Amino acid sequence: MTPLIKIALSQLSDGDQTNNISQELSVKLHKLEANLNRENIFYRVLPRGNRGDEKLIDVIKPYALELKEQVISNPLTIFYSNLETCGECYSYFEQELGEQQFYPPGSPAKFSNRLFAQYHAQYPEEYRTSLSVFVTVAFGVGMDVPTVERVIHIGIPYTMEDFFQETGRARRNGNSAMH
């Protein structure tokens, strides 16, 4: 009896890649294809400046002001970008929010009281209360944070697979989301 080989590929691959895998393993592949479009996610593209500070400020200023105004009722938002831009966005939020970056008002100026955070790899359980998170593509692939309402890309994701993986972080709880 021939052993049963099960392989699950979770990616956007072209036909050549799939055929190469099939030939290398000497197995017949049965494909299950799915539409990555989720009805509760809406996409929007906005223009931004292309020089200096304006390329960031045009994008992030409205969200900083919204966080300042709405505080803890602000929707959980993830900002994807490269490491350098994440740092610049984080610094901008620090400047824009000033003392209002900590919650509750009057609380000590420490990381766990800040309304926003910056992560490069893991998203620690104890900090999942941040309302705006600046992350790189290393942000927990496969991580489930169902309360994410918005995903903002500052710049273009490296691949379409990255794009769908990153925007798929939003609204896993079934509510509507905007990207």
Query: Which residue do the tokens 């710049």 mark?
Result: 155
Strands (E), the chain: 41-42, 76-80, 116-119, 132-135, 148-153, 177-178
Q: Which of 160, 139, 1, 164 is nearest to 82 (CA)?
A: 139
pLDDT in tens, the chain (179 residues): 555 555 555 555 556 777 777 777 776 766 666 666 667 777 777 777 777 667 788 889 999 999 999 888 888 888 888 888 888 889 999 999 999 999 999 999 988 888 888 875 555 555 555 567 777 666 655 556 677 788 888 888 877 777 777 776 666 555 655 54
> 152, 77 in Cβ contact below 8 A?
yes
The dihedral formed by the CA atoms of 102, 105, 110 and 111, expressed in degrees to the nearest 10? -40
